[in-house]
Amino acid sequence: MSVAVQQPVSAFRTDRDGLALEEMVDEIEHINILKDQAKKELEKSMAEASEFDAEKDKTKFRQYEDASDRVKNFYKEQHTKQTVAYNLKARNAFRSKTRAEMTIWEAIEKLNTLIDESDPDTELSQIEHLLQSAEAIRRDGKPRWMQLTGLIHDLGKLLFFFDAEGQWDVVGDTFVVGCAFDDRIIYGNKSFKENLDYNDPIYSTKNGIYTPGCGLDNIMLSWGHDEYLYHVVKDQSTLPKEALAMIRFHSFYPWHNAGAYHEFMGPGDEAQLAAVKAFNPYDLYSKSDEKPSVEKLKGYYLDLISEYFPKQPIRW
């Protein structure tokens, strides 16, 4: 046995001891496969129905008619200023430089000073909202990549500290620019009356610059934290495509919640919709959960971060 171990690997295939060793290697591989399978079975699938939001009173969330002036003023400004021209400019600015280098955890801490003016449902800080979302996903036994997605999904709000002109190009629900503003957007189509594109001869038509079936990757959503983080994460993590869809479209309520813009969907978009719908309850209804303890949870999430972000710091 000891003689065989010192020989080159190829020799194991010919002598008796080598064969035994090869069998042992096979056996270990087999055990590892079984372990992985068992782990997977413990994890519920992304879309498996959960009890998480069953006892939440859903009429208590996203009540925009009863919202404060802060929220109403926010949407008035956002709907006036998100034009095609602004969106092209913002995307160019994004591609032209790296704004900062930070680890994911540093980004979470930096974001913590922002209070989101568009949100009628939480007064908690962003770190608490991120941990609440991640913890709700974790408690429900969902996959580790989805827990991490919960933890980072709003980190795009860091834009506020870089190139943003205000909060109107960072937070809030998203919608399509370049075609008629849909009535299912918060506060409806009339909320866009002062937007320069509202009376544009092309942008104000039903399909605008798009063709039905062109696919969500080919439509331009109002610029903000979703689109920004999607690009950062796509290039620098090993998160699966479902996670990327959750990040990119989580604020696109007119689409994933109200059924607008489905005519633009193309191949693969049904799967993106399923992912976003599976994620949404954890983002929205965890806002009423208990305040999480950052200190207690930090260790668990640092491990999770390094699993999917192999190279830190991240280029923001």
Ligand X SMILES: O[C@H]1[C@H](O)[C@@H](O)[C@H](O)[C@@H](O)[C@H]1O
Residues that bind ligand X (CB under 6 A): 116, 118-119, 154, 171-173, 250-251, 253
Element (H, E) at 315: strand 314-315
Residue of the chain from 116, 182, 283, 289 that contacts Fe ion (CB under 5 A)? 283
Phi, psi angle pair for 72, to nearest 5°: -65, -45
Q: Is 154 in the site for Fe ion (CB under 5 A)?
A: yes
What count of other Cβ atoms lies within 10 Å of the Cβ of residue 146? Answer: 26
Q: Which does 272 bind (CB under 5 to 8 A by kind): ligand X, Fe ion, none?
A: none
Q: Which does 173 bind (CB under 5 to 8 A by kind): Fe ion, ligand X, none?
A: ligand X
Following CA atoms 43, 293, 251, 77 in sequence, which dihedral angle do they give, to the nearest 10 degrees? Answer: 180
Minimum distance from residue 225 beta carbon to ligand X (Å): 6
Minimum distance from residue 117 beta carbon to ligand X (Å): 8
Q: Is 135 in the site for Fe ion (CB under 5 A)?
A: no
Minimum distance from residue 116 beta carbon to ligand X (Å): 5
Minimum distance from residue 186 beta carbon to ligand X (Å): 8
Q: Which does 249 bind (CB under 5 to 8 A by kind): ligand X, Fe ion, none?
A: none
Question: Which region holds residue 84: left if phi is over 0, alpha if psi is between -120 and 50, else beta?
Answer: alpha
Q: Which does 243 bind (CB under 5 to 8 A by kind): Fe ion, ligand X, none?
A: none
Which letter does DSSP use for residue 49 in this model? Answer: -
CA dihedral sign of residues 47, 218, 265, 195:
positive
305-308 long-range Cβ contacts below 8 angstroms, 24+ apart: 305/103, 305/104, 305/105, 305/148, 305/151, 307/144, 307/148, 308/145, 308/148, 308/237, 308/238, 308/239
For ligand X, give the closer residue by CB, 125 or 204.
Answer: 125
For ligand X, give the closer residue by CB, 173 or 227.
Answer: 173
Minimum distance from residue 250 beta carbon to ligand X (Å): 5
The residues that bridge with 14 in the sheet, in sequence order, are none
Q: Which does 178 bind (CB under 5 to 8 A by kind): ligand X, Fe ion, none?
A: none
Write out the residues near Fe ion by the rule CB under 5 A: 154, 283
